[in-house]
Amino acid sequence: MRDEIQAFVDKMTAAAGFEVSIVVEETGVAGDYRVVLSGTDRGMLLSRGAELLDALEYVTNRAFGKQMKHDGKIIFDSNNYRRMREQELHLMARKAAERVRETRQPFVFEAMSPSERRIIHVALTDDATVRTESIGDGSERKIRVVRA
C-alpha cells in the first residue's frame, strides 16, 4: 500500500507542478500512513491554513479509502505543521475553558475542519468544569465551549 500511495501522491503533485519530495511511512497505528512533503513548494502547501495540504490529504484518502484497513487514515504533513497545529489547538482549548470558567459565558471558536474540532473536543474531555459541542453546518461548523 505504501508504494501505491507514494506513486499516487507523486503523480498528483507533479501534475500540479509542485516541487516537493515525498516520503510515505507507516505510523505504527494499524492501517495509518503519514505522507511527509518537503521541498521548495512546501510554503505554498502550508499557506492559508494549509488548505492545499488538507486538499491533497482529502483526495488521497478518498482515492484509497476502500483499500484501507479498519478506518485507516492517510495523514499529510510538512515541516511538522500537524504536530505544531495540534499543540496550538490544545493551548487554545485550555485558554477557552479558562475563559468560560472566569466569565461564565460560552466561548465559540472560528470554523474548523473536522479533525481540528476533534482535537478540541478530546483536549477538554477530562475537564469536568466545561463541555464542548459542535454547532453549525458544513464548512461553517464550529465548537462552543460551555460550563458543565
Report domain extents, the chain.
2-79, 83-147
Architecture of domain 2-79: 2-Layer Sandwich (3.30)
Q: What percent of the chain has pLDDT over 90?
A: 69
pLDDT of 113? 86
What are the pLDDT digits (tens) for 87-143? 999 999 999 999 999 999 999 999 998 888 999 999 999 999 999 999 999 889 999
Q: Residue 26: pLDDT band by 50, 70, 90 thresholds?
A: confident
Q: Note the CATH architecture for domain 83-147.
A: 2-Layer Sandwich (3.30)
Higher pLDDT, 10 or 30: 10
DSSP per-residue letters across the chain: -HHHHHHHHHHHHHHHT---EEEEEE-SSTT-EEEEEESTTHHHHHHHHHHHHHHHHHHHHHHHGGGSSTT--EEEESTTHHHHHHHHHHHHHHHHHHHHHHH-S-EEPPP--HHHHHHHHHHTTT-TTEEEEEES-GGG-EEEEEE-
Confidence of residue 14 (pLDDT cuts 50, 70, 90): very high
